[in-house]
A and B are shown apart, each in its own frame.
Chain A
Amino acid sequence: MIAPAPRKRSELATLELRALYAQYGYREFRMNKFEEYDFYAEYRSFLQAEDVLTFHDPSGKLLALKPDITLSIVKSIKKDAHLPARLCYSETVYRTDGNAASFREIPQVGLEFIGNIDLYAAAEVLSLAIDSLRAFSPRFIMDVSHVGLAAGLLAETKLSAGKQAQLSACIRAKNAHELRALCEENGVDGALTEKLASLSSLYGTSEQVLSQAAALDVNGATHAALSELHALCSTLKEAGLPEVNIDLSLLNDLSYYNGIIFQGFLPGIHAPVISGGRYDSLLRKMHKQGGAIGFAVNVGLLDSLDTPKEKAEEPLSLSYADDGGAAAALKTARALAAEGKRILVEKSPSGQKG
């Protein structure tokens, strides 16, 4: 029996989550710390942050410390691999943090489900995301959305990609006043403007939101998005999972995700602890079969959670006088350590003089 040293919240979380994912058959995927820079240059539009930390290897090749895990995992899937592949990881990524001009190490735990993504697959991944949050706090919020809804509505505006990006930024910021002004400026009709505005404001339990969101169904894309959201939410509910929220202003990067997306929050942590979604377009770009859905847990954020600090047991203090006492001190120390005690052996002050 060994007395446990107090662990950081993020370390405990990593162990807990890996055990959880293993239960559902997710294999651990361990990867190299870095990739060739060219790899990220090619898939730049799939990176959340543009900055990549680079360095040269001895032969002069440009390498990069991983800014993202999913790209490497998808790359590793062989053409003839048995699908679906369930993979999980616990790795460190290197990114710049918002406005800060320096790189940070961000510990991430996550999983990817790669293959044919049906309703079950999406529901399993989302249920694991919910269980991950629940492992940290009984109070949590899981927000779900579908990028197809906003994409379908934005396509109806017939505006340029640049203008659509401005409108998405307004939706993402729940900024209905500027959204309306932009629409008016660009001649978007009133009814469509109000539909876009309601993307920014609709928020609540799936039951509340989905009934109101029915009015946003204008074309094939929006119809598919809404029925997928509907099916997913009712599947989770029937399977006995806690209620998720629908946040239609949740857009993220439209070029990365192409279906269901979700974010998980814990009280007291100012950024999403979990982000994930469906990203079939990355597989297509890499010429791989099937689709994919996954998420990452930013476990580093958990260290800021207010948990009562487990007070470490004070170590037993041992001392020895001089070299003659070394063997006896070490023997006692080992005996105590074998009993599971923590010890700290120091030279006694009187011994220093002698």
Chain B
Amino acid sequence: MKEHLNRTPETSRIDEIIGLIKSRNIRGLTKAISIVENDGEGKEDLLNDAFTRGSNACITIGFTGAPGTGKSTLINAIIRQYRQIGKTVGVIAVDPTSTFSGGAVLGDRIRMQEHNTDPGVFIRSLASRKALGGLSEATKFALYLYKAFAFDVIIVETLGVGQDEIDVAKYVDVTVVLLVPGYGDNIQMAKAGIMEIADIFVINKSDRPGADLLTNQVLNTVHMKPENERPPIVNTIADKDEGIKNLIEAITLIRNRTAPHWEEKYRQRISEEIRSSVFSHLNREVNHHLDEMIEEVLRSSITPIEASKRILPMIGTS
């Protein structure tokens, strides 16, 4: 078949990659992500190693915002700010895959060019692969690798569309939801599940008319929460670098706020990680028997409920 595509990593190659990651060589990280994304051989070794060595000292931030909210400009400004105080930054840009061809256009490079040549900044676009169990699963594993690479700050960027992207919030310390004044669509979209996951709201392009209205709208959706748990609202004008310092302060504050409950949060995350891995494993196992069962249901010999019961004992036998 395709020689290059089959470049199966042997044990020695996995060791080499682990070695490269240990010495903080970007090519090691980049190859490791490819293997994990492709569900390649040696994937589990890589991830086990990464998890063991991964540090939780870093801060992981999820940024969620629709197109037009100036998300990339804002992330650029944040990166610039972190770089000024000497922090290294890793970015995971999450993009949807075309369901029809399996191909994907991974777009977020476009606006991040400013940091393209900075060795202290690493940007990687992830495409969701069905077999990997979706975006959140891919992001979860990428986070292992990024943590093993010991970035100071890790940013996960999502469009916030669909449950899968919302689930990403489970794996990061702080989730920032981005809104801009003037677009009715924005808050509409935001109502569909995004508002609940926000630790911080950013109103970007806040010099525009409608900023007050938007602030009010956001306040209306969060006012039921107790005051000390209410997500702060930060105004920014990303293209003028305004409000960026405030945002970083807010991020640090939120992270410290959760610090006393850190162990509890960490337990939750681990439980979520085990659970999601079991489900994605199950999903794959079920797929092995699915066609057969569909045929039976179509032949009217059994019902879908009966089919599900028949699959359960078969799991792990193939």
The answer to whether A binds B is no
